[in-house]
Amino acid sequence: MNIWVCEFCDYIYDEAKGVPKEGIPAGTCWEDVPFNWNCPYCAAKKFAFKLIEQNQNRVNAVSMSILNP
């Protein structure tokens, strides 16, 4: 799952958590967030969000293999 950040107010959208109170269930991929959804804090449009984290599961798997070889 990816994490996206609003470039105007630094609001974080975590795909794993979604925004349930905004009607976006946990686990909603960014592509599946409605295109007319706005940042809850500053009302920026989706295009204002930048990808800041990717392949988190793979990173966790790598770090676990280091801890438990």
Taking CB under 5 A as the binding criterion, the range among 13-21, 23-31, 42-50, 52-60 that sits at the site for Zn ion is 42-50
Question: For 13, which DSSP code?
Answer: E
8 binds Zn ion (CB under 5 A): yes
CB 64 to Zn ion: min, Å? 34
Report d(CA 68, CA 47) in Å as an integer: 40
Nearest to 25 by CA among 14, 35, 40: 14
* Tokens encoding 6: 């609003």
Residue of 1, 2, 11, 38 interacting with Zn ion (CB under 5 A): 11
Chain residues that interact with Zn ion, rule: CB under 5 A? 6, 8-9, 11, 39, 41-42, 44
